[in-house]
Amino acid sequence: MEKIKMVAARIKTLREIAGKSIPDTAKLLEVTDEQYSKYENGQSDIPISFLYAASRVFNVELTAILTGEEPRLHRYSVVRKGTGPSVERKKEYTYSDLAYNFIHKKMEVFEVKAGQTMPKELNKHNGQEFNFILEGTLKVIIENNEIILNKGDSIYFDSGHAHAMCAYGGRDARFLAVII
């Protein structure tokens, strides 16, 4: 919960620096004023899709929102196992940023651990997404389609369509997510 409050404070600061109102920012991020206020005040879990969209609206790297520091590396970035900043999404997901310190990324790369609870709300964000299953079985919902993926399977999709995923078959799943 402390991490969520720190991320929320960064979002509020970015909005204030940009000179935007809560209603204007909520509209840009395609959420209600009430939901935006809950995110900004740390009263609600913040979806990674929202954080990604906020990084685009405020013209900062996602890393700056997650960690409070701008990425600095230009040539390459190595992230050792277990060292990337992570965002825990309650029981549903834990995201570990695998490219957090590379500046001006053209994609976001995460290792995601998915629990067995399907999120109540589907996500959608601009761009495209690629998921590669590293461990376990994953159920993916894209609008009215349900796809079951096993270790070694992958899916590439337009992330502007409502989507969600959860582990399937009795144990958690782990997958690589690339968001462009």
pLDDT in tens, 95-110: 889 998 898 888 999 9
Residue 90 is predicted with a pLDDT of: 57
The CATH code of the domain at 2-67 is 1.10.260.40
Structural domain spans, the chain: 2-67, 86-179
- Give the position of tokens 């299953």: 133
Q: List 137's β-bridge partners, or say none.
A: 150
Q: Which of the following CATH numbers is that of domain 86-179: 2.60.40.1120, 3.40.50.10320, 3.20.20.70, 2.60.120.10?
A: 2.60.120.10
pLDDT, averaged across the chain: 90
Q: How many Å apart are CA 90 and CA 101, to the nearest integer? A: 25
> Residue 179 pLDDT > 80, yes or no?
yes
Burial (Cβ within 10 Å: 0-12, 13-18, ≥19) of residue 151: middle
Contact between 85 and 66 under an 8 Å Cβ cutoff? The reply is: yes
Estimate to the nearest angstrom the gap between the alpha carbon of 2 and the chain centroid: 17
How confident is the model over 10-61, as pLDDT tens digits?
999 999 999 999 999 999 998 999 999 999 998 887 888 888 899 989 999 8
Establish whether domains 2-67 and 86-179 are of one fold.
no
Pick from 113, 116, 97, 80: nearest CA to 3? 97
